């Protein structure tokens, strides 16, 4: 039996160690680290990077029309044909045997190198410039994705910090409820309070424990959202190193709305992307217009040709071709009108976004001011609620009043704690919104 016990103990230890080895390490995150990781590594940022790579590849593809094209070919031909099928009648001299109807078979060996080069292609130059403008737009879109990812991670972190603060508040509420229950039982034992006071205290303790369960569940779900915002495996344990303090979620932004608007107009990547899209549309329109202009191409061909490999001789040609488009059924005019409409649309969107950015900044500062004022009110309310509970407890302990006052005071304290937590979260979230409106979400710390 002793041997079996030892074997079972060793097996349990091995299984425990294997499970511990397979469990992922806890990721301890500060607020600034979460924002930095999201801005650089979030899935949305990675996807935006691939779109930038695709835009750069399109530049190379478009520019290829302006660069030399070189190709090589080799062929062998064995041919037999009927002279009469070609409509060729070759006269013969008197007494000369007529040419045979069937000529061949004969061999032709041929190797070629062809070179093509556009000498003048104004439309191609304009298309290349339009493709480069699309790269600028894609890079700005990538910056906008980084800003959005930073904002999402910041708000997820703040929500998780608020959930943890609510867990701490519910733990404190449960502790107070347990103390009040002990006090009610002591008062009943002393004959000072009726049994209903104990029942009320027990009901309050059960309520606080139920709220604690809910708060812990919300905290776990909030951490899942943090993992999603960072692109981590949802099973990764996360520990927050920052709390919902007054200094959390600050960024390098001006404190005056007018200055912040000016900075936002110069920094916001989505506005830069809109401007780049308008530039790309106008350059594409120029490329369509340039298709009316002459195009000059150089073509050269060099190779060896002959009936046998050993009998091949050098042959070649070089030429310059000028192409002048005249009419394509007015298809070009339709494309030009369509691209002109796209350019106007891009300009309208850019102007509207400029106004939207100004409104975003002003609204964010209004929300921040209201949240900070609400935070001061909530902090004062929490202090008063704590005083009320202390005074109600003293009255109950002295036998002056029943514990209904204590229960009401504790309920007021619970509400005041929640209001304080929500106010601190709202202020921090408003600071995040201000940073995002200015285009500085990636600098949050």
Between residues 82 and 107, the one the model is more confident about = 107
Among 37-46, 69-78, 82-91, 269-278, name the one with the lowest average pLDDT. 82-91
3-14 pLDDT, tens digit each: 554 454 455 455
CATH 1.20.1600.10, applies to 31-77+103-443:
yes
> ∠ CA 322-326-329 to the nearest 5 degrees?
140
What are the structure tokens assigned to 192, written together? 């000072």
pLDDT over 60 (residue 19): no
Q: 62 - beta bridge partners?
A: none
Q: CB-based contacts of 261: which residues, under 8 Å, 6+ apart?
A: 357, 358, 361, 362
The pLDDT score that the predictor gives to residue 356 is 94
CA distance 249 to 158: 9
Encode pLDDT of 233-288 as tens digits. 988 899 999 998 878 899 888 889 999 999 999 999 999 999 999 999 999 999 99
pLDDT tens, residue by residue, 153-205: 999 999 999 999 999 999 999 998 888 888 888 888 887 778 888 888 888 88
Cα–Cα distance measured from residue 47 to residue 312, given in angstroms and rounded to the nearest whole number: 56
Taking the C-alpha atoms of residue 113 and residue 315, their distance in angstroms, rounded to an integer, is 11
Rounded average pLDDT over 290-297? 91
Residue 138 token pair: 């894609």
Domain boundaries, the chain: 31-77+103-443
Q: Which of 361, 424, 414, 366 minimizes the C-alpha distance to 386?
A: 414
The answer, yes or no, to whether residue 426 has pLDDT greater than 60, is yes
| Stretch 336-342: mean pLDDT | 92
Whole-structure pTM over 0.75, yes or no?
Answer: yes
Asked if residue 56 has pLDDT above 70, the reply is yes
């Amino acid at each position: 039996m002793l041997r079996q016990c030892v074997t079972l103990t060793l097996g349990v230890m091995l299984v425990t160690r294997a499970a511990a080895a397979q469990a992922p390490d806890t990721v301890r995150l500060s607020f600034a680290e979460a924002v930095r990781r999201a801005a650089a590594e979030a899935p949305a940022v990675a996807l935006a990077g691939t779109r930038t790579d695709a835009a750069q590849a399109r530049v190379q593809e478009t520019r290829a029309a302006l660069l030399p094209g070189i190709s090589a070919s080799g062929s062998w031909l064995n041919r037999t044909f009927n002279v009469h099928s070609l409509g060729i009648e070759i006269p013969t001299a008197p007494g000369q045997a007529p040419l045979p109807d069937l000529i061949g078979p004969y061999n032709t060996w041929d190797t070629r190198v062809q070179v093509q080069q556009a000498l003048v292609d104004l439309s191609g130059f304009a298309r290349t410039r339009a493709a480069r403008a699309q790269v600028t737009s894609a890079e700005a879109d990538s910056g906008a994705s980084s800003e959005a990812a930073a904002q999402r991670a910041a708000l997820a972190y703040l929500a998780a910090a608020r959930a943890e603060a609510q867990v701490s508040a519910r733990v404190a509420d449960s502790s107070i409820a347990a103390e009040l229950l002990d006090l009610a039982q002591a008062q009943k034992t002393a004959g000072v309070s009726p049994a209903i006071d104990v029942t009320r205290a027990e009901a309050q303790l059960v309520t606080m424990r139920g709220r604690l369960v809910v708060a812990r569940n919300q905290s776990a779900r909030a951490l899942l959202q943090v993992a999603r915002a960072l692109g981590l495996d949802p099973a990764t344990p996360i520990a927050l190193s920052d709390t919902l303090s007054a200094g959390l979620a600050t960024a390098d932004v001006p404190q005056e709305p007018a200055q912040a608007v000016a900075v936002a107009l110069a920094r916001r990547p989505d506005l830069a992307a809109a401007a780049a899209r308008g530039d790309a549309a106008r350059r594409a329109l120029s490329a369509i217009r340039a298709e009316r202009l002459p195009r000059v191409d150089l073509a050269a061909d060099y190779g060896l040709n002959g009936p046998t490999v050993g009998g091949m001789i050098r042959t070649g040609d070089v030429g310059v071709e000028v192409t002048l488009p005249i009419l394509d059924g007015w298809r070009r005019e339709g494309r030009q009108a369509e691209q002109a409409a796209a350019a106007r649309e891009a300009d309208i969107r850019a102007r509207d976004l400029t106004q939207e950015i100004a409104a975003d900044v002003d609204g964010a500062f209004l929300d921040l001011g209201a949240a900070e004022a609400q935070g001061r009110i909530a902090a004062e309310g929490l202090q008063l609620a704590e005083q009320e509970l202390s005074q109600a407890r003293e009255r109950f302990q002295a036998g002056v009043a029943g514990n209904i006052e204590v229960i009401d005071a504790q309920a007021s304290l619970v509400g005041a704690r929640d209001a304080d937590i929500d106010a601190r979260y709202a202020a921090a979230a408003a600071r995040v919104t201000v940073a995002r409106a200015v285009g500085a979400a990636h600098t949050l710390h």
